Amino acid sequence: MNSKDLFSPLQLGPSTLTNRIVMAPMTRNRAAEGNIPQEMNRLYYEQRASAGLIITEGAQISPQGAGYPFTPGIYNDEQILGWKKITAAVHQKGGHIFIQLWHVGRISHPSLQPDNALPVAPSAIKPDGDAFTYNGPQPFVEPHALEISEINNIVDDYQQATRHALNAGFDGVEIHAANGYLIDQFLRNGSNNRTDEYGGPPENRSRFLLQVLAAVTSVCDSRRVGVRLSPLNSFNSMRDSDPMTLFSYVVQQLKPLKLAYLHVLEGSMSPLPEGDETFDYKKLAALYDGIYMANHGYDRQSADEAIKSGTADLVSFGIPYIANPDLVERFKADAPLNAPDQASFYGGDETGYTDYPFLSS
């Protein structure tokens, strides 16, 4: 008899999660000047500490990794100190928290880069649309195609950011390899047309991700390292000619690494081109014999069914966690959820950030 449900505990590496409800990583653009986590960020995460696991918003691994205003980093002492206050607050409430390590690649703008440099990418392919800058929307530019020596430097940045994350008290790190950011740009051939050892077949396009994981797990127990993928997500001008083959290969390479989890966005944040709507996520999950975290469009019922049926071990929730700091308690009581205020999702003050009511109030 399967006794697992959304509220049953789970051993995640050295951490014992009290439930299987995960707060998904979500950009909120509320870091202080210098991309330093601040007091309202501490309160925001502390309020949501009843989640089985919190995965923070993406934190850039270097100044070059930034692509949006007011997003936190994890590359200097001031940022580490800011994050220490957050991890301590979450742990004081009995919660667990991973930091998502982020490099946006081409999804940036010279005004957000050191010395107004071009954003970097595997290939000089400009994404569609506008970058969000401190001066409002600005058209994306053609990025600089990384040299191999520069790729190696970024791998080193991931390793150093992991050291910083451990110093800041995080229970683990999530490598952001999804949603059209740098690692995803290497993975998918719509953004990678290289002809060297980082381009062409899936084994070459996966090389950067696997190098990052080798570097990160050399300084952090692999059971404290997760990876996020988004095989079909078209957000940020992303597409691949054969995503099932690509991501099946990627997942088979992840299996022997004994990672904390595989976190998969099962769908797309933007409309998909006709003919791109299908992907066998159950087959992908079955290929991975570790802890599988599902994400995208789940509610209480569908998440509980996924856990009970064994198609997922954890389910992460995004927008419901913006508006419901006590999402676990509301799910347990089958209580109504607060409605999210979309106008306050990105940037601003405490309004729409730390002022959503708790069920108990």
Specify whether 44 is catalytic.
no
CA distances from 216 to 66, 124, 154, 160, 213 (A): 20, 27, 12, 8, 5
Q: How many CA atoms lie within 13 A of 287 on its CB side?
A: 18
- Radius of gyration for the alpha carbons in the chain, expressed in angstroms and rounded: 19
Catalytic-labelled residue, pool 68, 75, 158, 181? 181
CA–CA separation, 17 and 8 (whole Å): 9
Angle at which helices 148-167 and 77-92 cross, to 10°? 40
CA–CA separation, 123 and 141 (whole Å): 12
- Give the three-state DSSP class for 200: coil
CA–CA separation, 254 and 83 (whole Å): 28
Q: 94 in the Ramachandran plot: left (φ > 0), alpha (ψ -120 to 50) or beta?
A: left
**Which amino acids are annotated catalytic?**
181
